């Protein structure tokens, strides 16, 4: 059954750090006296808002629970054998710690944690590693049967196996209130995820309130209150930043754009039926200059609103039937010498968008079709592999062509099924495909996707957690961490911990937590 408390330290860490040594000797913490401080020699200090926030926000509440903040205590801890741990000193080593920056693909998330009396030391190159180390430290602190807080002497050396560890949320099929997104950013941080892939608009709705094109959400959102204002977007980005999470927005074109046409006339291709416009619309119209004028302005806005170096441009599932029906498009195909190969038209469109986005100094992520249909990508375009059929071969092809890739195909968490499906997500080995060492280095990570057709705020959290945790460990921990029995023990403890921290993660299997959800 699920253990009531994370009794044994080795049974409580998730994801499992690269190198952990715990010792039997335990130290006691007094919630009213224990401090998280900047250590001597740290390039970060009290002016580092990000760390101050992490100290105050998480690590008192998360470590000691809600009601622990009593006034400064003078009473020594009850006569116990264990010595007291007074502080965790955080030392950031890089000259520029990164406090006011946004995390990047190349950020360092490594840390070294030494827990010994009288003070524990957390060393990290950048603040991002400090955040990861703080999370791990909070997982080491446990409560005994008498309510005392203990931590075992430990030495941890940790860094992520993959640099891109993401969750995709879809706010177009169903609107997700801000609270839901922010709660999930908390949960992501508990699991050391570092990318929020925000699939923000799609066919069904356009909740993104654009500054240059307000009609897009005015006409395209489900309703006037189901939108994300610029303030909302800034809040998400900053909330994520404080947790070391990048926000990569996806504005998927030319397909998946029905909702764009509501607020932007003449953007989508009019479909024809027997020589006449049928009244319905297809993908973005690739033959009109106005399309590219619009996209130039639109992506100028997106490039400035979203600080991450990358923008996801989509490019998946383009249905060619509407283009094929449109006489102007057919004429254009002829002029360009594309014959009847509409994939060439799609690539023509995508290449133009890639150029536009490049000109704003942003990198691009695309779904695999863009690569499959042979569009000319930039050398640093990231290809996201999502089609489940034979994805190992796709990984070979994409990396073989020299592109960095992110794996999602086996991690579509919206595909629910009965039983402990976390095991199947956990058992995926991203580098299990035919390829050279060089190729495998091009796999920068993966993303668990929670598409929104059947998901909104009523069921998002239990559907995502703790199933996504399995993906989280696969992307962070060493490739030889594969034992399911050990993972089960740690995952069930981790799930109970998420409950304590206010994340309504669903059960892994039969059992209980000492602190159930409220």
Indicate whether 415 belongs to the interface with other proteins (CB under 8 A).
yes
Query: How many angstroms from the chain centroid is the CA of residue 355?
Result: 26
Backbone angles phi, psi at 63, to 5 degrees: -75, -45
CB of 144 to other proteins, least distance (A): 16
Q: Which is closer to other proteins, CB of 6 or CB of 109?
A: 6
Cα–Cα separations (whole angstroms), residue 206 to 213, 226, 256, 260, 264: 12, 9, 11, 7, 11
Which residues fall within 8 angstroms of residue 234, CB to CB, at 6 or more apart? none
Indicate whether 512 belongs to the interface with other proteins (CB under 8 A).
yes
Q: Which is closer to other proteins, CB of 375 or CB of 460?
A: 460
Indicate whether 205 belongs to the interface with other proteins (CB under 8 A).
yes
CB of 504 to other proteins, least distance (A): 4
Catalytic residue among 215, 238, 317, 331: 317
Chosen residue from 78, 361, 418, 485 binding other proteins by CB under 8 A: 418
Chosen residue from 223, 276, 289, 480 binding other proteins by CB under 8 A: 223
Size of the site for other proteins (CB under 8 A): 44
Tell me how far apart the alpha carbons of residues 92 and 52 are, in angstroms, rounded to a whole number: 13
Indicate whether 174 belongs to the interface with other proteins (CB under 8 A).
yes
Q: Which is closer to other proteins, CB of 42 or CB of 205?
A: 205
**Cα distance from N-terminal residue to C-terminal residue, the chain:** 20
Footprint of other proteins on 260-289 (CB under 8 A) = none
Angle at 287 between CA 283 and CA 289, to 5 degrees: 110
Whether 131 and 194 have beta carbons less than 8 Å apart is answered as no
Indicate whether 459 belongs to the interface with other proteins (CB under 8 A).
yes
CB of 4 to other proteins, least distance (A): 7
Per-residue contact flags (x/-) with other proteins for residues 351 to 380, judged by CB under 8 A: ------------------------------
Stretch that binds other proteins, among 131-139, 271-279, 332-340, 448-456 (CB under 8 A): 448-456
Backbone angles phi, psi at 36, to 5 degrees: -105, 120
Indicate whether 453 belongs to the interface with other proteins (CB under 8 A).
yes
Whether 444 and 488 have beta carbons less than 8 Å apart is answered as no
Tell me how far apart the alpha carbons of residues 100 and 95 are, in angstroms, rounded to a whole number: 13
Using alpha carbons only, how large is the chain's radius of gyration in Å?
A: 25
Whether 440 and 160 have beta carbons less than 8 Å apart is answered as no
Whether 128 and 101 have beta carbons less than 8 Å apart is answered as no
CB of 210 to other proteins, least distance (A): 20
Chosen residue from 333, 357, 377, 455 binding other proteins by CB under 8 A: 455
317 catalytic residue (yes or no):
yes
Element (H, E) at 18: none
Indicate whether 175 belongs to the interface with other proteins (CB under 8 A).
yes
Half-sphere exposure of residue 464: CA atoms within 13 angstroms, side-chain side = 32
The residues annotated as belonging to the active site are 317
Q: Which residues bind other proteins (CB under 8 A)?
A: 1, 4, 173-175, 177, 179-180, 183, 204-205, 222-223, 226, 414-420, 452-459, 461-463, 499, 504-507, 509-512, 514, 516-517
């Amino acid at each position: 059954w699920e253990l009531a408390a994370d009794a044994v330290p080795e049974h409580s860490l998730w994801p499992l750090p690269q190198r952990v040594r715990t010792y039997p000797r335990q130290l006691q913490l007094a919630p009213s006296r224990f401090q998280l401080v900047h250590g001597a020699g740290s390039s970060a200090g009290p002016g580092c808002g990000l760390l101050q926030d992490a100290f105050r926000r998480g690590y008192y509440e998360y470590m000691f629970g809600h009601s622990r903040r009593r006034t400064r205590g003078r009473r020594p801890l009850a006569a116990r054998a264990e010595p007291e741990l007074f502080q965790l000193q955080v030392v950031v080593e890089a000259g520029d710690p990164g406090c006011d920056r946004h995390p990047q693909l190349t950020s360092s998330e490594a840390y070294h944690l030494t827990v010994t009396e009288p003070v524990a030391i957390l060393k990290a190159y950048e603040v991002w590693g400090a955040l990861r180390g703080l999370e791990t430290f909070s997982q080491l602190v446990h409560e005994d049967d008498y309510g005392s807080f203990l931590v075992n002497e430990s030495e941890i050396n940790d860094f992520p196996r993959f640099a891109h560890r993401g969750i995709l949320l879809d706010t177009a099929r169903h609107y997700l209130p801000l609270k839901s997104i922010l709660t999930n950013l908390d949960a992501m941080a508990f699991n050391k995820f570092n990318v929020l892939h925000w699939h923000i608009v799609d066919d069904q709705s356009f909740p993104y309130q654009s500054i240059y094109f307000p009609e897009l959400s005015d006409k395209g959102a489900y309703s006037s209150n189901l939108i994300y204002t610029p303030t909302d977007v800034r809040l998400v980005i900053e909330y994520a930043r404080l947790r070391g999470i990048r926000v990569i927005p996806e504005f998927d074109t030319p397909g998946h754009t029905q909702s764009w046409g509501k607020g932007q006339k003449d953007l989508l291709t009019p479909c024809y039926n027997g020589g006449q416009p049928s009244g319905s619309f297809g993908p973005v119209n690739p033959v009109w200059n106005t399309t590219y004028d619009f996209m130039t302005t639109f992506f100028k806005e997106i490039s400035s609103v979203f600080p991450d170096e990358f923008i996801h441009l989509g490019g998946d599932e383009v249905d060619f039937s509407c283009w094929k029906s449109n006489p102007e498009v057919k004429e254009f195909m002829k002029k360009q010498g594309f014959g009847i190969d509409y994939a060439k038209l799609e690539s023509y469109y995508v290449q133009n968008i890639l150029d536009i986005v490049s000109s704003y100094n942003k990198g691009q992520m695309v779904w695999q079709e863009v690569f499959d249909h042979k569009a000319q990508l930039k050398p640093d375009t990231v290809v996201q592999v999502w089609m489940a059929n034979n994805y190992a071969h796709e990984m070979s092809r994409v990396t073989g062509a020299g592109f960095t890739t992110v794996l999602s195909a086996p991690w579509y968490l919206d595909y629910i099924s009965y039983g402990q499906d976390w095991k199947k997500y956990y058992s995926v080995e991203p580098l299990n495909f035919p390829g050279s060492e060089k190729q495998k280095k091009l796999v920068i990570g993966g993303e668990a996707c929670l598409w929104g057709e059947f998901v909104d705020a009523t069921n998002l959290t239990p559907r995502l957690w703790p199933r996504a945790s399995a993906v989280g460990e696969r992307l962070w921990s060493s490739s030889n961490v594969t034992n399911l029995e050990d993972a089960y023990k740690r995952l069930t403890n981790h799930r109970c911990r998420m409950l304590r921290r206010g994340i309504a993660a669903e059960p892994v299997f039969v059992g209980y937590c000492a602190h159930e959800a409220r």
